[in-house]
Each structure stands twice: as C-alpha cells, then as structure tokens.
Amino acid sequence: MINKIQTIKNEIAKAIIGQEEMVNGLLIGLLCEGHILVEGVPGLAKTSTVKALASALKLEFKRIQFTPDLLPSDIIGAEIYDPQNNLFKIKKGAIFSQLLLADEINRSPAKVQSALLEAMQEKQVTIGDHSFKLPRPFMVMATQNPLEQEGVYRLPEAQLDRFMMKLLITHNSEADELEIMRRIATKSAKAVEAIIDLDELNKITNEIEKLHIDSEVEKYIVTLVRATRQEHKDIRYGASPRALIDLYRASKAHAYLEGKDFVSPVDVVSMAYPVLRHRVGLSYEARAKGIEVDEALRMIIENIEIP
C-alpha cells in the first residue's frame, strides 16, 4: 500500500507545489483519525492542499470561515421550526463532512471554538435532544494567521489538546514559487482525480496500526512526553496524556509513510515537534527572551538517551 501513498502525493502535486510537510501532516492526521492545526501566513495554499487531498481520496470537503459574528449553530446545525407541519426539523451544519477546514479558527470567540470540541473528540454532534454520529473518516484542519493579533481570540488549552499536531507552514522555495507563477500564468494546473476509495484508505489505516514498535521505543515516547512536565526553566506546563497517544500513533504513520515496517526513534523525534509544540507552555522568562517552543523541545529531546 505504500505505493498508493506515493501515488496520492503525486496526484496532490498536480495542484500543490512544494509544501511536503503540510501534505505529510494532513495524510498522517487523516490516517490516524486526528485533527491538524496549521499556522502560516495567508497565501500558502492551505485551503488548496486540503481540497486536493479530499479530491484525491474522494472525500466530502467543506469549509467554514470563522468570523467574530459566527454562531455555534452555523457550525453544527440547529433545530428549525416548520410551521406548515407544526414540528421541528434538524438542519445539519457544515461539520457533517469528512474533511472540514476551519479557516482562521482564532477569529471567533471561545463559545464558537468549543462547538468543535465534542465533534473532534467524540466524533458526534448534539443538536437539541438528538445526537448524530459524524461520517468517518472525519478530520478537522484548522488554520491560524500568526501575523494579525487584532480581533483574534486565543485558543484555550482544552481545545489545543484536541489537535493531534500543529504544523508551522513557511513560504515555498524560489524554484517552487517560479513554478507556481508559471502554472498560474499559463493555466496549466491539472485537476486532481480520485486515486483510492474508502475501503483502500481503511486498509492503509489497518496496516499502520499493525506496524511493529519495540517496547524500548514505546518507553522512549513516554519518557519524552513526561520530560516536558518536569521542572524546566523555559517551560511553564507540559504535555497531557493525550499527547502520548498522539505521538505513538503519529510515529507509526510517519514510519509507514517512509516505507518502513517498524517504528524507530527517528520517527518519534520527527513527530515530537508537531505533536508537542502546541501542548507545551513557555515560561514568562522564556517568552521575554524570545525563546520558541521548538527550541525548548529540542533541548529536552537532546537530553534524553535514545534507545
């Protein structure tokens, strides 16, 4: 099935140039049934990438633009009164999809952000007295703009912890931007076609779950996560137990995408940054010094013996 993964990437490359880290992150999130938080300036093809992924996998895609006046019912749906039949009907919201893009999620207040919590964690939505299971697979890709700080609301830790990974997206290389310019100018971009169906996607997920991981590597994951909670001059609070599960699953998926049939410490370290960076809080002193979360994580990782 690993050849299928490369085929999917090649198909996405018809519409998206570069951004391999974002493509890999979205694939890992989808295959592990996790959710992804993407941070990057506008214009880096975040929306286009998730649309291309949905097309390649033949999944239903919907997008919500988060704004200060957005209501929870705009996301999950609501009970609508039908005066003609004298009864209430359920109108489902955009969350009833397989790939949901929550664009600029920090533009809306906590009440709206929290409307996603049940869906992200329980894979279900409650409208009135009724609960509805969401389609599977179900993945939320939320985006944040790191530049504008006016009119935005900080995501609470409880919501951040629901995201499996946080990806930091930067600009393409010079060669990639040249190719992007040429494609747009000549209108030579090709449509992304469906490569695999849901059954094949489930087979890949099952293969990832069966991937071998040594007990020493499992202990390494636990040691690494627990190290973020120990007293450290740059860290105010560490990662939650949910991070253990996400790092374990992400490491397996990363190994699979690399074409391996076992998980190595290299896979764990590669996934440690995106899985932990949004779950670790820097101390006031560290922020005053301009220290980044990844830098603090690097120091922790380097002080742990690799099995």
Q: With beta carbons less than 8 A apart as the criterion, state whether 192 and 11 touch.
A: yes
Residues in contact with 40: Cβ distance below 8 Å, sequence separation at least 6, in sequence order: 46, 143, 145, 146, 167, 168, 169, 170
pLDDT tens, per residue, the chain with 307 residues? 557 888 888 888 888 887 888 889 999 999 998 999 998 877 777 888 888 888 888 888 999 888 888 888 888 888 887 788 777 788 888 888 999 998 888 888 777 877 787 788 888 888 877 888 888 889 999 988 776 665 567 777 878 888 999 998 888 788 887 887 877 777 766 777 888 888 888 899 999 999 999 999 999 999 999 999 887 778 888 899 999 999 999 999 999 999 898 999 999 999 999 999 999 988 888 888 888 899 999 999 998 888 8
Q: With beta carbons less than 8 A apart as the criterion, state whether 8 and 195 touch.
A: yes
How many Å apart are CA 32 and CA 256, to the nearest integer? 12
Is pTM beyond 0.75? Reply is yes
How many Å apart are CA 22 and CA 236, to the nearest integer? 28
Tell me the domains of the chain and their CATH numbers: 2-186 (3.40.50.300), 212-302 (1.10.8.80)
How many Å apart are CA 214 and CA 204, to the nearest integer? 21
